[in-house]
Amino acid sequence: MTGATYDLSARVAIITGASNGMGLASARLFAASGAKLVLAARTRAKLEAVADELNLTYGNGQDIAVAVAGDLGDKAHLQALVDMAVGRFGALTTLLCSPTVRPWLGSAIDTPDEVFDEQLLYILKSRFWLSSMAIPHMIAAGTGSLIYIGSGSVFEATGERSVNCIARAAEWQMMKNFAAEFGKSNVRANTIAPGMVESSGSQALFASEEGARRIARLPLRRGGRTDEIAHAAAFLASDASSFTTGAVLPVDGGRLLHAVDAMLTKSEGYGR
């Protein structure tokens, strides 16, 4: 599956969180599929290395990717991303928001104010701001796709990630409102809800006993790969998903099934 591509040759995309994990995997697949890219992350050296890699591998002598490092919580930086896409590539059709902040673990009543503010800033407010800046250019282009890589937390209520769950639920509502308001302009909005995906930020969990227990409970009995999330993002960026909007797409190995192994067997006198 890693070699499959989509036709994104008419797409100009901003990808946030592009230097690691799901954002990096998506940037590589989008570039392989023909998209022009504005890459965003905090660390300039890592981000520029990604842009150099994509230009060398997929550019055919041209720069198809440009790195714009900065703080996604800064509205001026977000505007700079949009301006770069339109100024360098002449349009903006796609926004892919990859995770840029990790969930805070702890009781709701112990959550520091600064943590609450940070989670809302990077999960909700910055994505709202950047989407609002991007949508007018998508309308002008006649097509647009807003793609938010969220979390399975959107479906949960837990005693350890309360703020994250709250922010993800608000993000889901934001996505639905964008889908409802701008569908008439051929601008679509969708969310990807990953399950346990193995990346730099999840290595400790995957190596732990708790991680092994969680994987053992999944119907597919394995964790996910970042390229599997990237393929979902490329699908939502492409015309293959042209009638899909306002949707949450779980890419989670069946986690949401809450499946359990059979407990009643023929040997116990049940069934035939």
Q: What is the pLDDT of residues 119-174, one digit of tens each?
A: 999 999 999 999 999 999 999 999 999 999 988 766 777 767 788 888 999 999 99
Lookup: tokens for 224: 């996910």
Residue boundaries of the structural domains of the chain = 12-255
Sequence-distant (≥ 6) Cβ neighbours of residue 211 within 8 angstroms: 196, 205, 223
pLDDT value of residue 257 = 78
Instruction: List helix spans (H) across the chain.
Output: 21-32, 44-58, 75-89, 113-120, 126-141, 162-182, 203-206, 209-216, 226-237
Q: What is the pTM of this model?
A: 0.90
105 band by pLDDT with thresholds 50, 70 and 90: confident
Q: How many angstroms separate the CA atoms of 239 and 167, rounded?
A: 29
Of the candidates 42, 25, 36, the one whose C-alpha atom is nearest the C-alpha of residue 65 is 36
| CATH superfamily of domain region 12-255 | NAD(P)-binding Rossmann-like Domain (3.40.50.720)
Q: How many angstroms separate the CA atoms of 5 and 195, rounded?
A: 23
Q: What is the pLDDT of residues 185-219, one digit of tens each?
A: 999 999 999 987 886 555 565 567 677 787 888 88
Q: What is the pLDDT of residues 4-36, one digit of tens each?
A: 789 999 999 999 999 999 999 999 999 999 999
Q: How many angstroms separate the CA atoms of 229 and 219, rounded?
A: 18
| Strands 94-97 and 197-198, sheet pairing | unpaired
